Structure 1
Amino acid sequence: MTSTIPARLATLTKTSSSPAESRKRALKLYRDWYRSAPEICGLYALSVSPAYVRHAIRQRFEKNRNVTDQRAIDVLLLKGRQDYQETMNCWKQTDHVMGILLAPLDRPQRTFLQKFYEGEFTSVSFRLIRVHNIVNSGKDEAAVIPAASGI
């Protein structure tokens, strides 16, 4: 196991003032990931080639290519930088790298019922969905829920 200096990759949280600046920051993050592919393979003793790691990194960046909201881009850059720091400092297990970073992104969209059957929705989720529907419908919650009958 190699020793790392955690502060070596630490950066301050930044907000981009323009789309050009966020593009520059995204390209820098992409280059950092791309150049680190051989080191990632070595650090985690992965059974995949650096070319495969680079391909997976490219897919991750391509997935968010059409995001235009400046705040969303800043959050994606922050999370990408944090993920890079955690990966390069060996703060992840090999399974994390293989399962999260290198997993294929071609999972099809699922409907509400498919997610429900898989157990992704709990009673809290149902309450939040119900409150959201009530608020958006403009109805008073008391009008939706019947009063106690007194029986």
Structure 2
Amino acid sequence: MIQPGIFGVAEHAITTASASSADAARTRALGLYRKWQKSVPEMMKLHEINMPSAAIRAKIREEFERNRNVEKLEVRDILYAKGQMEYQEVMNVWKQNNHIMNYFAKEEAPPRPTSFLDKFYEGRS
């Protein structure tokens, strides 16, 4: 059931439930992954993201792949709930653009200086 929020109706809300088996958890995770991937064009439009959609899709895949080998059902349930909450926050525009762009900070940031002189020139000693 959709609950009204402060700014209107809270869309994309789901109730949390535990997965009954590893297959059920996998099915839910794949469904969430597909939902994220299908929403990329809308997400780009809502948040005015000026990046190629392929880069955003690759980042979504990277985030899901990071947790691919989790085996405990309890942990999978928590990761699923967090992923669903992130999706809801992004699609309801509860997250600001800088929150979304933080996912891409590593790719966008210039390389950090490693030698003493590079650090000195950068103003870090």
Provide the TM-score with structure 1 as the length reference: 0.63
Q: CA deviation at 1:4?
A: 7.1
Higher relative contact order (CA 8 A, sep 6+): 2
Q: How does 1:39-58 map to 2 (within 5 A)?
A: 39-58=42-61
Count of aligned pairs: 101
State the distance in 2 between where 1:42 and 1:18 align.
37
> Which blocks of at least 5 consecutive residues in structure 2 are unaligned?
1-6, 108-125
Deviations 1:87-114 (A, max 9, x none): 00000110000103x3449xxxxxxxxx
Structure 1 residues 57 and 103: alpha-carbon distance in aligned structure 2, compared to 1, 3 A threshold: farther
| Matches of 1:15 and 1:4, distance apart in 2 | 28
Give me the CA root mean square deviation: 1.7
* Sequence identity (%): 41
Q: After TM superposition, where is structure 1 displaced by more than 4 Å over at least 4 residues in a row?
A: none
Amino acid in the other structure paired with 1:48 = M
Larger radius of gyration between Structure 1 and Structure 2: 1
Partner SS state of residue 9, structure 1: coil
Query: What 5-or-longer segments of structure 1 have no aligned partner?
Result: 106-151
1:67 to 70, 86, 90: 70
* One-letter code aligned to 1:85: Q
TM-score (norm 2): 0.76
